[in-house]
Amino acid sequence: MKSNLSSVALLALAGLANAFTYERLDKDNALLLILDMQEGLFSLARDFDHTTYRNAIYAHAALGKTFDLPVVMTSSSETGPNGPLPDEFLEMYPNAPLIKRQGEVNAWDNPEFREAVIAANKSQIIIGGITTDVCTAFLALSLREAGYSVWANHEASGTTNTNIRDMANERMRAAGVQVVSYFAILCELMRDWRNTPGAKELFPVLDQYLPAYGMVARAHRAAIQNGTVLPGEDILP
């Protein structure tokens, strides 16, 4: 009898240990952070091809326009070698808070930045920045400590090599940060291609920032408009 009770208790504990609640990104409860994606710091992002990484940070920045998310931007010592944020980001969000930190490495240590995040009144934070192991990780950990749910855009954070990137991502995951792709973020915010924004709004965005998927849509359009079934294709299952 004791053995049976022990087995039941172990099974119950195992069930508790494996309990999981899937928290989805909600466009009505999400805040986008553009963190230290500065022109001078860009050269430190060596874990991705520079053309790929440039596309990734622009894609990250555009999430706010695509889903009408509140945006907070911040830079670190931009009058020095770090340089400013790209002009295109400032033009996307002329009215968004832009906190120009003069010394704080961790953006959360800056009272003005912290107040801007709190004022947005959102519990889910989407983050990307340079560098992954310092600017992104430090802020992500602080946000988790403050009670926020955090999604780190893996493709939009860059650092000096892949080993350092992997260690930083492991550190964030251990704190409950969801380290995910740009496409995962976009799809969780959208949820259903029939929504607004949905297929109509997002195919042009994907064509610009995720061209592999944009080409899928182009190929489908061409097949519908001009396609001809070739001999042999008609007998495929």
Residue 135 designated active-site = yes
Structure tokens at 161: 């090599």
CA 78 to chain centre: 23
Residue type, 205: V
Would you tell me how many other CB atoms lie within 10 Å of the CB of residue 165? 22
Contact predicate 65/92, CB 8 Å? yes
Kindly list the distances between the CA atom of residue 150 and the CA atoms of 31, 134, 230, 237, in Å, as whole numbers in the listed order.
Answer: 10, 16, 49, 44
Tell me the one-letter amino acid at 143: L
User: Which of these is catalytic: 61, 107, 116, 135?
Assistant: 135
Active site residues: 135
